[in-house]
Amino acid sequence: MEIKIYGDKELRKKAALISNITSDIKSLASEMTEMMHQKDGVGLAAPQVGISKKLIVIDYKPDAEKLSNPITFGESYLIPLMPVALINPEIISSSKETIVYEEGCLSMPQIYANVERPKKVIIKAKLLNDEEIYFECGGLLSIIIQHEIDHLDGILFIDRVKSKDLSKIQKKLDKLKNTKL
């Protein structure tokens, strides 16, 4: 298993829904979690490893001061489960209030830029045990989940970067893309 790098067409494909949580899906989630840990990531989506399935893995254990204040149900529920795999995750609601955060991506090594996203989101997903969950999350957990869900729709964080900020990283992006050709 290897992480697809910016320029790879797999990263722009829309992922397919997972209809059954099979042993293969559970194995994929385990392998993705291991890969994410090897690369010191906090999230990874199946399309980033060339698998067009709606599966993300997350491992985020924040310090108390990094949690949204007050802590959301999603944070209190999910953080003890970390690392966690989410099947067919979707954003069903998002706050009008936004937050700007410098994001990076395992598919774009050493490239970082500010991205504005909704501060809080409500997510619907399934866990590997087939339990359907709905949860609200804010802060960095919200950003991580939104970033990974974007991957399932073929959207990269650079697609959400303002043009003035994108111009600052364009040379690095071009170099990264050209090294993969």
Domain spans, the chain: 9-95+121-155
d(CA 120, CA 112): 22
Residue 81 near residue 102 (C-beta atoms within 8 A): no
Per annotation, catalytic residue among 34, 75, 132, 148: 148
Which pTM value belongs to this model? 0.92
Given a contact cutoff of 8 angstroms between Cβ atoms, the answer to whether 15 and 90 are in contact is: no
Residue reference for tokens 């320029």: 7
Q: State which fold the 9-95+121-155 domain adopts.
A: Peptide Deformylase (3.90.45)
pLDDT digits (tens, 9 = 90+) for 3-52: 999 999 999 999 999 999 999 999 999 999 999 999 999 999 999 999 99
User: What is the distance between the alpha carbons of residues 167 and 70, in angstroms, rounded to a whole number?
Assistant: 36
Query: Mind listing the pLDDT tens digit for each residue in 47-82?
Result: 999 999 999 999 988 765 555 566 777 788 888 889
Check: CB of residue 131 under 8 Å from CB of residue 147. no
Q: Is 97 a catalytic residue?
A: no
* 44 neighbors 35 (Cβ within 8 angstroms): yes
pLDDT tens-digit series, residues 158-170: 999 998 888 889 8
Q: What is the distance between the alpha carbons of residues 17 and 124, in angstroms, rounded to a whole number?
A: 13
